[in-house]
Amino acid sequence: MSQLDLSIESGEIVGLIGPNGAGKTTAFHLIAGFHPPSAGTIRFKGDSIVGLKPHAICRRGLARTFQLVQPFAGLTALENVMVGAFTRERDTAAARRHAGEILDFVGLGPRRDTAARNLTLGDRKRLEMARGLATRPELLLLDEVMSGLNPTEIEAIIGTIRRIHERGVTLLIIEHVMQAIMALSHRLVVLHHGEKIADGPPALVARERKVIEAYLGEAGDGTAP
Amino acid sequence: MAVRALAVLAGLALLAVPPFLPKYFLEVLISILFFAYLGLAWNLLGGYAGQFSFGHAAFFGIGAYTSTLLLLRAGLSPWLGMLAGGLLATGFGLFEGYLSFRYGLRGPYFSLVTLAFAEMLRVVTVNLKVVGASLGLVVPSQTNALLFVFADKLPYYYVIAVMTAVALAITHRVARSRLGYCLVAVRENEDAAEAAGVDARGAKLRAMAISAFLTALGGTFYAQYFAYIDPTITFGPAISIGGLLPAIVGGAGTVLGPVLGSFVLTPISEITRAMLRGRAGADIMLYGLVLILVISFLPQGLMGWLRARRAS
């Protein structure tokens, strides 16, 4: 990761794309406080969040999901989301109520009492979003919530992401499913070898030569997109 | 709910029956509750937070020694001394926990550090003349309820019964609170817990504080009940294991698990000891065998087994 200059305005949906190993997930780790940056600053709502632990960043209103879903396997869907809800609620009944609402919102209402380990991958991706959402974030980082899902599930999750945005949540999304990210994003940022090589409206970015080269390799060296 | 009614009934029986029990059975019952209590205390950190302490004897010993020394040197009643011991153990637990969690020690590394701290205290106590060194300390045994010394076993029984009930109530409360959910989240996946806004270190330290405090009170109870403590008994691994076994066998991270575990394990230990008197070590081998069987066939403990049966 070197010299990434990235800014996100409140209310935006920004797509973060790039070939495998471009540093997208690393960028998320840095923003959410899982790795300290070796240099530079990260500001959220005007304040530096460098050096804060992930939970403190989460409390300030910046939540994330994990690329490889990390549910609390032994807990039910509802209990998983309650953990997130406790970020803003002290009272157990209030946390349970809020978590129930969020589960209904992402379409997991009927699964609320299912142990997370028994959920399908699609449901676990939703659970991951629900847990993040329950912390009442202003900015939510979604890390490949569509990978491994079938087209129907992807269609449904795009709808969910749109509705999350309608709630007033700003979104930064890493995604490999191109049609989805093109359709969702107001702006696309392309990373390659840890550097930003493009930043702009999706339609323009997709035509940029450097972006095409990053994905296809110069003179087409056979790297898959 | 049938289970609740059953628990209330069992509780009432535990209050009403003991005065009519022969002395031996009363002693066994005290033993059962004592280990249930230690298991409950251990369970908050080891079961709910999943931080597998192998050195809770450190807190136990601090409790036993603090109240006993305050009694012997300053004439302070162990009823107050046990609070002092609890606070000191809490401080020590926070220190130990802060160091371990600050450097991200997890799993077996945390277990080893807790074991090392307990062993360190044992070795220090063995070599420290002012605290009785390896000879230990004798607690004055003139009957005086104000000094936590009773003429017969029954009052001790009620003391440990109340302590166990309080530990149960605390566990019940924690399990349903924000802290309880945070602890379980940390146990299941610490990174994900942090991402969901859980202050993992803070939660673990809170569990450590309560767990250490309660364990230390158990140390004072032991000192008063047996009227004698020494470094090997109070700071030794046997006490650490005595606390964690009922919790694990009964079901770590459940409210009733440690109590259930102790009601099963302690009598087995007593029976094997009585049956194999005269053959040194045979009882421990048989006890070990029972443990291996329980842990192999009931990895989730008795509570896990009961739940699975109820679910199917």
Q: Which residues of A touch B176 (CB under 8 A)?
A: 92
Distance from CA of A69 to the nearest CA of B (A): 9
The span from the CA of A211 to the CA of A205, in Å, is 7
Looking at residue A224, its pLDDT comes to: 45
Residues 197-216, chain B, touching A (beta carbon < 8 A): 197-200
**Domain ranges across chain B:** 2-311
CB-closest option in B181, B188, B197 to A58? B197
Contact A55 B200 (CB under 8 A): yes
pLDDT of residue B116 exceeding 70, the answer is: yes
**Cα–Cα distance list, B126 to A186, B39, B115, B190 (Å):** 70, 26, 16, 38
pLDDT of residue A218 exceeding 60, the answer is: no
Band (B3; pLDDT cuts 50, 70, 90): confident
Question: Tokens representing B278?
Answer: 């005269």
The span from the CA of B192 to the CA of B171, in Å, is 24
Segment (H or E) for A44: strand A43-44
Work out the average pLDDT over A114-127.
92
pLDDT of residue A203 exceeding 50, the answer is: yes
Per-residue pLDDT tens digits for B240-267: 988 999 999 898 899 999 999 999 889 9
CA B55, B247, B223, B111: dihedral to nearest 10 degrees?
A: 0
| Residue A187 DSSP label | E
Distance from CA of A23 to the nearest CA of B (A): 19
Give the number of beta-carbon pairs within 8 Å between A and B. Answer: 86
Per-residue pLDDT tens digits for B69-109: 999 999 999 999 999 999 999 999 999 999 999 888 888 89
The span from the CA of B95 to the CA of B99, in Å, is 6
Between A223 and A185, the more confident residue is A185
Domains in chain A (CATH in brackets) are 1-61+137-225 (3.40.50.300), 73-136 (no CATH)
CB atoms within 10 A of CB B72: 16
The span from the CA of A47 to the CA of A27, in Å, is 18
Band (B1; pLDDT cuts 50, 70, 90): low
B2-311 maps to CATH 1.10.230: no
| Residue A42 DSSP label | -
Contact B197, A58 (CB under 8 A): yes
Looking at residue A20, its pLDDT comes to: 82
Question: Which residue in B188, B191, B204, B300 has the most chain A C-beta atoms within 10 A of its own C-beta, making it the best mutation to test that interface?
Answer: B188
pLDDT of residue A57 exceeding 70, the answer is: yes
Q: Which residue does chain B place closest to A69, by CA atoms? A: B192
Q: Which residue does chain A place closest to B183, by CA atoms? A: A83
The span from the CA of A199 to the CA of B247, in Å, is 56
pLDDT of residue A223 exceeding 60, the answer is: no
Contact A131 B193 (CB under 8 A): no
Q: A99 — contact with chain B (CB < 8 Å)?
A: no
Contact B178 A89 (CB under 8 A): yes
Q: Which residues of B touch A53 (CB under 8 A)?
A: 194, 199
A157: helix, strand or coil: helix
Of A21-30, B40-49, B221-230, which range is least confident? A21-30
Q: B192 — contact with chain A (CB < 8 Å)?
A: yes
Sign of the CA dihedral B253, B258, B260, B261? Answer: positive
Of A34-38, A185-189, A211-215, which range is least confident? A211-215
Band (A19; pLDDT cuts 50, 70, 90): confident
Looking at residue A220, its pLDDT comes to: 45
Distance from CA of A224 to the nearest CA of B (A): 31
Q: A28 — contact with chain B (CB < 8 Å)?
A: no
The span from the CA of A60 to the CA of A51, in Å, is 14
Summary mean pLDDT of chain B: 91
Distance from CA of B115 to the nearest CA of A (A): 28
The span from the CA of A83 to the CA of A99, in Å, is 9
Q: Which residue does chain B place closest to A79, by CA atoms? A: B181
Summary mean pLDDT of chain A: 88
pLDDT of residue A74 exceeding 60, the answer is: yes
- pTM of this structure: 0.89
Distance of CA B70 to the CA centre of its chain: 22
Contact A74 B191 (CB under 8 A): no
B137-138/B228-229 β-pairing: antiparallel
Band (A143; pLDDT cuts 50, 70, 90): very high
Band (B62; pLDDT cuts 50, 70, 90): very high
Looking at residue A217, its pLDDT comes to: 67
pLDDT of residue B188 exceeding 80, the answer is: yes
Prediction ipTM score: 0.88
CB-closest option in A59, A83, A89 to B182? A83
Question: Tokens representing A132?
Answer: 């993040």
The span from the CA of B12 to the CA of B37, in Å, is 18
Band (A1; pLDDT cuts 50, 70, 90): low
One-letter-per-residue 3-state SS of chain B: CHHHHHHHHHHHHHHHCHHHCCHHHHHHHHHHHHHHHHHHHHHHHHHHCCCCCCCCHHHHHHHHHHHHHHHHHHCCCHHHHHHHHHHHHHHHHHHHHHHHHHCCCCHHHHHHHHHHHHHHHHHHHHHCHHHCHHHCEECCCCCEHHHCECCCHHHHHHHHHHHHHHHHHHHHHHHCCHHHHHHHHHHHCHHHHHHCCCCHHHHHHHHHHHHHHHHHHHHHHHHHHHCEECHHHHHCHHHHHHHHHHHHHHCCCCCCHHHHHHHHHHHHHHHHHHHCCCCCCHHHHHHHHHHHHHHHHCCCHHHHHHHHHHHC
